[in-house]
Amino acid sequence: MFEYAPAPESRSIVDIHPSYGLFVDGDFVDPEDGVRFKTVNPATEEVLAEVVAAGPRDVDRAVAAARAAHETRWSTLPGRERAKYLYRLARIVQERSRELAVLESIDNGKPIRESRDVDLPLVAAHFFYYAGWADKLGYAGFGPDPRPLGVAGQVIPWNFPLLMLAWKLAPALACGNTVVLKPAETTPLTALAFAEICQQADLPPGVVNIVTGAGETGRTLVEHPGIDKVAFTGSTEVGRQIARSVAGTTKKVTLELGGKAANVVFDDAPLDQAIEGIVNGIFFNQGHVCCAGSRLLVQESIADDLLDQLKRRLATLRLGDPLDKNTDVGAINSSEQLQRIRLLSDIGEQEGAERWSAPCELPDRGFWFPPTVFTGVTQAHRIAREEVFGPVLSVLTFRTPAEAVEKANNTPYGLSAGVWTEKGSRILWMAQRLRAGVVWANTFNRFDPSSPFGGYKESGYGREGGRHGLEAYLDV
């Protein structure tokens, strides 16, 4: 038997401080009315550091710093100078990418192989891409001299902490805005490291401000009268609240919310690659992906065979220590999220779907859930409608292309979809009809800073990435 020995990535490259302040106006400062709370490593439950939940006066201070920086420093800089700041940030991220990847895995629970090979390269790439737009806004199709909005309040989720920071900061800064960003409660550490990177890049104080905290801090930021733009990635439920709270104001808002994507596999799919696409679609990042392919829609004529092959493939997934370079499936980000996944999975069983989990040993400490597949699922099951946000796949069948489209679209969500077939015309036919902001054909979970990403319907509105991603941060 060819057993892989432990291959741990060393932790010694990261230097986690015992306590962090808020990053306001270019410096780390103590809170005025914030309180401190602890952040833990979800794979071991060890406490990593103390961070601040910023209070209303802290948020005031950050917004004021961003406003001052916008008016006196950032909006008057020519685009080519802003570009060079962003290039610096990109380069420093590249230089420190190993350290940041390790830090991300420790704080988030995702495998080091993913943070190293997927997250970090994309982070640098986003800064590089948007750096190049900073001095070319007149060519972007929004008129000869589009202006920034002003101060942006940005709230990001815990599933791709540093990458979501890059998706938010890079276009905002390129367009000439300044920012107050709140990372997720359970994953503040890479954002705080990024604050150091802003210092290393000599970014003018106040252009980027990082205020840590939980839902309360996020609400305070989003509802602050001093910001011109709200950008949020997170749950549809909170997205709704935000949309309500900005009603009647002049704030522009973009939302990137949940999903329940259909991954549609036709009988002429390139089968081995489709299996990889299914696995990648729902088990990449432990299924903590808004655009996860959480509903497998497989053509009935190949369903049994495909499921046998899928289960055989799932048995080779390695679950365990996120810092082991051979780990495929890491820890669930928090105890709360684990409870939710367990609850919905139990409901799935109660509603009559058949449950199967990959055989893996779960470590004693930490938050873990094995890759799980429910078969015999129909649209009427809750596990076909509600976002689990975990490594749980629901399998449904269809007979014809029209039926596949119907079932795929039969959801209030509309973030992404997958199509697997060797027939080009069918790919395009499906893509035309799927009500989703991103359609992946014969691939899944592919991201690029030049490729616009965002949802239809309750998956949100606005696009991040590409030329389209500039619109959210310009006064057009």
Partner 1 sequence: MSEISEPERLGVRKTYKLYIGGAFPRSESGRSYEVRSARDGRFLANAALASRKDARDAVVAARKAFGGWSGATAYNRGQILYRVAEMLEGRRAQFVAEVSDSEGIGPRKAERVVDAAIDRWVWYAGWSDKIAQVRGSSNPVAGPYFDFSVPEPTGVVALVAPQRSSLLGLVSVVAPAIVGGNTCVAVTAESSPLPAITLSEVLATSDLPGGVVNLLTGRPAEIAPWLASHMDVNAIDLCGIEAPALATELEAAAAENLKRVTRPPAGDEPDWFAEPGLGRMLSFLETKTVWHPVGI
Partner 2 sequence: MVVTHEPPSDLAVSNGGLRRFLHGLPGVDHVGADARAAALATRSIKTTAKAFALDLAVRTIDLTTLEGQDTPGKVRAMAAKARRPDPSDPSCPPVAAVCVYGDLVAVAADALRGSDVHIASVATAFPSGRAPLDVKLADVKAAVAAGADEIDMVIDRGAFLAGHYLEVHDEIVATKQACGAAHLKVILETAELATYDNVRRASWLAMLAGADFIKTSTGKVSPAATLPVTLVMLEAVRDFRDQTGRLVGVKAAGGIRTAKDAIRYLVLVNETVGDDWLTPDGFRLGASTLLNDLLMQRQRLATGHYAGPDYFTLD
Query: Which residues are known catalytic residues?
Result: 256, 290
Instruction: Considering the complex, state which of residue 70 and residue 110 has its C-beta at the smaller distance from partner 2.
Output: 110
Q: Quick check: 110 and 328 in contact, CB under 8 A?
A: no
Instruction: Tell the burial category of 370 from Cβ atoms under 10 Å away from its Cβ (0-12, 13-18, 19+).
Output: middle
| In the complex, minimum distance from the CB of residue 96 to partner 1, in angstroms, rounded to a whole number | 17
272 contributes a contact to partner 2 by CB under 8 A = yes
| In the complex, minimum distance from the CB of residue 355 to partner 2, in angstroms, rounded to a whole number | 21
Q: Which stretch binds partner 2 (CB under 8 A): 89-97, 253-261, 289-297, 304-312?
A: 304-312
Q: Quick check: 261 and 182 in contact, CB under 8 A?
A: no
Return the beta strands (E) in 324-391 as ranges: 354-357, 372-375
Instruction: Tell the burial category of 213 from Cβ atoms under 10 Å away from its Cβ (0-12, 13-18, 19+).
Output: buried
# chain residues binding partner 2, by CB under 8 A: 28
Interacting positions 393-432 with partner 2 (CB under 8 A): 422
Instruction: Considering the complex, state which of residue 20 and residue 283 has its C-beta at the smaller distance from partner 2.
Output: 283
Among 30, 308, 336, 448, binds partner 2 (CB under 8 A): 308
Among 7, 47, 362, 428, binds partner 2 (CB under 8 A): 7
448 contributes a contact to partner 2 by CB under 8 A = no
* CA atoms of 140 and 116, how far apart (whole Å): 32
> Binding partner of residue 466 among partner 2, partner 1, none, CB under 5 to 8 Å per kind?
partner 1
Instruction: Considering the complex, state which of residue 187 and residue 285 has its C-beta at the smaller distance from partner 2.
Output: 285
121 contributes a contact to partner 2 by CB under 8 A = no
Among 199, 235, 335, 442, binds partner 2 (CB under 8 A): 442
> Binding partner of residue 191 among partner 2, partner 1, none, CB under 5 to 8 Å per kind?
none
DSSP, collapsed to helix, strand or coil, labels residue 261 as: coil
Strands 22-24 and 27-29: antiparallel
Strands 252-256 and 27-29: unpaired
276 contributes a contact to partner 2 by CB under 8 A = yes
Q: Quick check: 11 and 334 in contact, CB under 8 A?
A: no
Contacts of 57 (CB under 8 A, 6+ apart): 32, 33
268 contributes a contact to partner 2 by CB under 8 A = yes
Instruction: Considering the complex, state which of residue 273 and residue 450 has its C-beta at the smaller distance from partner 2.
Output: 273
Instruction: Considering the complex, state which of residue 346 and residue 422 has its C-beta at the smaller distance from partner 2.
Output: 422
Among 46, 196, 300, 305, binds partner 2 (CB under 8 A): 305
> Binding partner of residue 10 among partner 1, partner 2, none, CB under 5 to 8 Å per kind?
none
Q: Quick check: 184 and 108 in contact, CB under 8 A?
A: no
* CA atoms of 191 and 239, how far apart (whole Å): 22
* CA atoms of 363 and 15, how far apart (whole Å): 25
* CA atoms of 102 and 115, how far apart (whole Å): 7
**DSSP per-residue string spanning 303-334:** HHHHHHHHHHHHTT--BS-TTBTT-SB---S-
Q: Which stretch binds partner 2 (CB under 8 A): 31-39, 201-209, 266-274, 332-340?
A: 266-274
| In the complex, minimum distance from the CB of residue 7 to partner 2, in angstroms, rounded to a whole number | 4
* CA atoms of 218 and 239, how far apart (whole Å): 12
Two tokens, residue 222: 């989003």
In sequence order, what are the beta bridge partners of 461?
255
> Binding partner of residue 354 among partner 2, partner 1, none, CB under 5 to 8 Å per kind?
none
* CA atoms of 169 and 339, how far apart (whole Å): 32
Among 150, 171, 258, 277, binds partner 2 (CB under 8 A): 277
| In the complex, minimum distance from the CB of residue 103 to partner 2, in angstroms, rounded to a whole number | 19
11 contributes a contact to partner 2 by CB under 8 A = no
Closest CA to 161 of 24, 48, 275: 48
* CA atoms of 383 and 375, how far apart (whole Å): 11
* CA atoms of 162 and 119, how far apart (whole Å): 8
Instruction: Tell the burial category of 16 from Cβ atoms under 10 Å away from its Cβ (0-12, 13-18, 19+).
Output: middle
DSSP state of 395: E
> Binding partner of residue 432 among partner 1, partner 2, none, CB under 5 to 8 Å per kind?
partner 1
Instruction: Considering the complex, state which of residue 111 and residue 465 has its C-beta at the smaller distance from partner 2.
Output: 111
90 contributes a contact to partner 2 by CB under 8 A = no
Helices (H), 351-459: 382-385, 401-409, 424-433
Q: Which stretch binds partner 2 (CB under 8 A): 94-102, 265-273, 346-354, 395-403?
A: 265-273
| In the complex, minimum distance from the CB of residue 152 to partner 1, in angstroms, rounded to a whole number | 22
DSSP, collapsed to helix, strand or coil, labels residue 16 as: coil
Instruction: Considering the complex, state which of residue 125 and residue 173 has its C-beta at the smaller distance from partner 1.
Output: 125
5 contributes a contact to partner 2 by CB under 8 A = yes
Instruction: Considering the complex, state which of residue 355 and residue 423 has its C-beta at the smaller distance from partner 1.
Output: 423
- Which residue ranges make up the site for partner 1 (CB under 8 A)? 80, 83-84, 87, 125, 128-129, 131-136, 139-141, 401-402, 424-426, 428-429, 432, 449-450, 466-467
Q: By CB under 8 A, name the binding residues for partner 2.
A: 1-7, 113, 117, 268-273, 276-277, 302, 305, 308-309, 312, 316, 325-326, 422, 442-443
